[in-house]
Structure 1
Amino acid sequence: MQIKDRLFIGGRFVEPATASTLDVVSPATEEVIGRTPEARPEDIDRAVTAARRAFDEGPWPRMPLAERIEVLRRFRDAYASRLRETATLLSSEVGSPITWSTRAQAGAPIGVLDYFLALAPEFAWEREVPGATGPVLIRQEPVGVVAAIVAWNAPHFITFSKLGPALVAGCPVILKVSPENALSSYIIAESAAEAGLPEGVLSVLPADREPSAYLSRHPGVDKVAFTGSVDAGKAIMASAAANLARVTLELGGKSAALILEDTDLDRAIPALMPHLIPNNGQVCISMTRVLAPRSRYDEVVDRLAEQFRAMVVGDPLAPVTTVGPLVSERQRERVEGYIAKGVAEGARLVVGGGRPAHLDKGWYVEPTLFADVDNSMTIAREEIFGPVVVVIPFDDDEDAIRISNDSDYGLHGSVFSSDEQRALAVAARLRTGNVGVNGGGIAFNAPFGGFKKSGIGREFGPEGLQAYLETKSVYTTTRH
């Protein structure tokens, strides 16, 4: 049981404004494992005031880039030194299998920060173009105070996808974390304090939805960067619009994996499996729609069923576990509701669909595979955010493209084929921000984001840094 009694505001641990607290509950044991203060509007006001002062008057945005990078390298090293602790705590909070947590929950944030620290010295902070009266200097300047509002599913990875470029750009950040991850957020705050970030540059505030809404509409915020659900993204965008604050929204997905008729399944199925229900299916880029040709449909379903039955469901801290519990009882009820709806609408339950018989505690759902699914069914259209995958038949490549694009979302996807040129041709026609050919995943040096309701803007790559910058043109006069 960890008890925290202070909030990290403007670079210092201070008394919270109220006695409001948040309990962190283990999804594996259903027991309270920690308690932290909950940030309220008064705390947010203090954080915004400190960030405004840091941006308007402080050294951070005016510091030479090399000095800013040096501070951030200390931050990176302090955080990296606690990788094992971070992975263990996030598995305890979220239910992520420890092997996935070590790599993606705790390891990936270090890679994100490393990328932006390497990019910064090479980035075109200033360039010159000819103008009517003389050269025009085009400069990139920090956008201002950033509110980073992050989801609970991969909180540190999501955090550093925003912190990395924002801090490199010279922006102070107010980080709002979800109640489910309130404990692990202190590792970020303590690492920043150890690194000596200047006053006001970072605040870390655990809070629920009401304070999030207050932060997103705060007049002292210049940009809101959010990762979460579509509905929450719409609300945040509406709130930010009151101040014309810039927004980056990374929202949901219902990604499709297209298995073309000529695919070598001995290679494709092992390559596809890590992308179906990573983190117990609680990942926005999960490829939860598998599209299979009718001529090989039963073969694909049987291969996937074999893999699903082999998954080990259990304690997220056990190295053998491949599927842990969902983050909360509420989330399990939501997923079970979708499974029931799939059965009611006529889908065939091939594997799973219930709670593991060998576990009497924890918010577990068995890895679940549906076949005979039509793309119009609820389980094929809505983001379930749990260990549920549907297999949809198609007639030919044109039909596969049509079904894949028949979605409100457009975040990720993949195309499998023994002919890479064929796969590339299909991938080019998918309305999604990211597509894998014979695989999946993301790269920190390439822009990541979605089409349609999957979001606005891009993270990672140079585009991810540009999202935290404003462009200024300075017109000069040639002297003769």
Structure 2
Amino acid sequence: MAGEHDDVPRMRAVAPATGRPLGTVAVAGPREVQAAVRESGEVQRLWAQLRLADRARYMARAAQAVIDEAPELVELVGAEQGRPRAEVEIGELLPAVETLQWLAENGPQILAGERAGISRVLHPLTRARWTYEPLGVVAVLGPAAEPFATPLGDVAVALMAGNGVVLKPSPHGALAGERIARVFARAGLPEGLLQVVHGHAATGGALVEAPGVAQVRFTGSAVAGGKVLEACARGVKRVVAELGGKDAAIVCADAQVPRAAQGIAWAAFTNAGQSGGSVERVYVLQEVAEPFLAALTERARSLRVGDPADPATEIGPLVGGERLHRLTELLEEAVALGATIHCGGPREVAGLSGAFCAPVVLTGVPPGARMAREEVPGPVVAVTVVAREEDAIAAVNDADLGLGASVWTADRYKGQRIARELRVGMVWMNHHLVARSAPQLPWGGVRGSGIGRARGAIALRTCAEPKVITWDPGAAGAFWWFPYDAALARTGRAVAQLRSARDADREAAWREGVPSVLSVAARTLRSARGHRRRARLAASPGASRRPD
């Protein structure tokens, strides 16, 4: 992005592969951000009154809008991100359609609320249920390298739950953010309910701290995410944050080595290694280490780096030159500390000015290297040979980030055992998802990878507030209402003893507590008769209010 001199500050979107200008968007200051939050909140009050089935129809129409606009979206997102067109089709458009259609089909049932069966000991006549009430306005801050499906899904989840939304796309995905708004506009979404604001850190900070924002849904770096979490803590705001990962793959001795190498190569290098769940570490058992490393290196060398508009290209440019600079620093430090690069590295592509990097496979990265602990913004994977599965588990758990991991094995039960021991939010066996392509499943990590989940039923419910609603017939007051006396205290003790697991306690309750229980029950019944008598008198013709 680059600024342009104008009455309104603007950002310029450029294609990372060529530097070609793609368009401009207006930059929102604090005043514009607050106005967007206010307008969304005003429309949200009406949107919240819609039935769940009606909101679901908007999701279905939005899915159809994505399908109808697919050719334009593929070209726009591919150009703005520098992604191969096949990746945009499969990694951006299909997940967006899947998410919207899943919300349309399942959202009403998930948010319908439930009846609650409560204890009849203290609440003998009470009926209870809970419903899900919208929060208000939700702020969505999108990532740099997954600019369409990821924020669109967060927007859709918040809308389905009855909220208004203010979307701030990444500066690297500004035009994709505008197309998200257009998709929902084509679906007939009420005007003003979804707002889009553009800018850099200052705009994001103003949105997070805006008084009318009830929840923030953030996807991005750990550094930026830490600031978002601090701001939400100060403002006592709900937050769902994915702060990236240092995803790992464990290749067991019984794994199908060719398939594991193929799958891990895709998980490490798709989207030029910039997805939130990209594999950056591989721990391979020594029995299969040599053939696995050979197969992975061969696959990495075969991937075509070049113009993302070419259908044959598999690795496009990084979304910004600053990413290549950081990646180069990490590689140089790792090599200086003893690591070996088997293939790949920064590369120039004839006729293109973008920041390209051919897929990198390393071995021997020491634990003290930053590459071993920090997220790498590009197509880089470090392979480490281990003697035992326990060593691989310990190494995966040693990282500060815990988004996802994969286990490659022919033994399902062994895979499940390893999965239980991994301190991550998601474990894939013989596969690895790098982004939110399965809307039915909760997406998110533990420890430094964030808070909350971005997909699945839990994501919908965290965009709403549970509200408990109960009904009592009003025939009598509860037996523990005033006045207090010794009989009420003994009744409470007797009821607790009757629920004891010890026979002696239950016998003591029957022996010593029955008189008190009968006394309190009689008092409650007399109160009930009094309530009914007064109700009949009040309802009789000509009844008048008498002074106490």
Residue matched to 1:312: 304
Cα deviation for residue 244 of structure 1 reads 1.0
**CA deviation profile, 1:106-153 (whole Å, cap 9, x unmatched):** 221111111111112322522222452511221111121100011121
Matched, 1:120 2:107: yes
Matched, 1:431 2:420: no
Between the aligned partners of 2:21 and 2:326, the Cα distance in structure 1 is 22
Matched, 1:172 2:167: no
Between the aligned partners of 2:16 and 2:111, the Cα distance in structure 1 is 45
Residue matched to 1:8: none
- Contact 2:364 / 2:383 at 8 angstroms: preserved in 1? yes
- Contact 1:301 / 1:371 at 8 angstroms: preserved in 2? no
Residue matched to 2:30: 41
Paired amino acid for 2:57: E
Paired amino acid for 2:283: L
Matched, 1:292 2:279: no
- Contact 2:252 / 2:409 at 8 angstroms: preserved in 1? yes
Residue matched to 1:10: none
Unpaired runs of 5+ in structure 2? 476-548
* Gap change, CA 1:219 and 1:311, over 3 Å in 2: same
TM-score for both structures, normalised by structure 2:
0.82
Cα deviation for residue 243 of structure 1 reads 2.2
Between the aligned partners of 1:334 and 1:312, the Cα distance in structure 2 is 22
Q: Percent identity?
A: 31
Matched, 1:449 2:436: no
Paired amino acid for 1:142: P
Residue matched to 1:24: 13
Cα deviation for residue 161 of structure 1 reads 2.3
Cα deviation for residue 73 of structure 1 reads 2.5
Cα deviation for residue 340 of structure 1 reads 1.2
Residue matched to 1:466: 461
**CA deviation profile, 1:202-238 (whole Å, cap 9, x unmatched):** 0012211101001001111000000001111110111
TM-score for both structures, normalised by structure 1:
0.93
- Aligned to 2:390, the other structure's residue is in SS state helix
Residue matched to 1:370: 362
Between the aligned partners of 2:117 and 2:251, the Cα distance in structure 1 is 51
- Contact 1:139 / 1:473 at 8 angstroms: preserved in 2? yes
**CA deviation profile, 1:43-74 (whole Å, cap 9, x unmatched):** 1111111122123xx32001112222223322
**CA deviation profile, 1:140-185 (whole Å, cap 9, x unmatched):** 1112110001112111111122112111111000000112111222
Unpaired runs of 5+ in structure 1? 6-15
Matched, 1:97 2:84: yes
RMSD: 2.0
Between the aligned partners of 2:11 and 2:67, the Cα distance in structure 1 is 26
Find runs of 4+ consecutive structure 1 residues off by over 4 angstroms: 357-360
Of the structure 1 ranges 132-141 and 274-283, higher mean CA displacement relative to structure 2 is found in 132-141
**CA deviation profile, 1:434-480 (whole Å, cap 9, x unmatched):** 11111122521111110111110012111111110111112321344
After superposition, residues 18-167 of structure 1 pair within 5 angstroms as 19-55=8-44, 58-131=45-118, 132=123, 134-167=126-159
After superposition, residues 330-369 of structure 1 pair within 5 angstroms as 330-356=322-348, 358=350, 361-369=353-361
Cα deviation for residue 349 of structure 1 reads 0.9
Higher helix share: 2
Between the aligned partners of 1:402 and 1:376, the Cα distance in structure 2 is 16
- Contact 1:135 / 1:478 at 8 angstroms: preserved in 2? no
Matched, 1:401 2:393: yes
Cα deviation for residue 357 of structure 1 reads 5.9
Between the aligned partners of 2:438 and 2:189, the Cα distance in structure 1 is 28
Between the aligned partners of 1:359 and 1:295, the Cα distance in structure 2 is 44
Between the aligned partners of 2:351 and 2:420, the Cα distance in structure 1 is 44
Paired amino acid for 1:473: V
Give the structure with higher Rg (CA). 2
- Contact 1:230 / 1:251 at 8 angstroms: preserved in 2? yes
Between the aligned partners of 1:161 and 1:187, the Cα distance in structure 2 is 13
Cα deviation for residue 105 of structure 1 reads 1.8
Paired amino acid for 2:160: V
Cα deviation for residue 190 of structure 1 reads 2.1
Residue matched to 1:413: 405
* Gap change, CA 1:33 and 1:130, over 3 Å in 2: closer
Residue matched to 1:9: none
- Contact 2:407 / 2:430 at 8 angstroms: preserved in 1? yes
Residue matched to 1:391: 383
**CA deviation profile, 1:309-346 (whole Å, cap 9, x unmatched):** 10000001111111000001111111111111111121
Between the aligned partners of 2:17 and 2:455, the Cα distance in structure 1 is 33
- Contact 2:222 / 2:243 at 8 angstroms: preserved in 1? yes
Between the aligned partners of 1:52 and 1:195, the Cα distance in structure 2 is 20
Between the aligned partners of 1:202 and 1:253, the Cα distance in structure 2 is 29
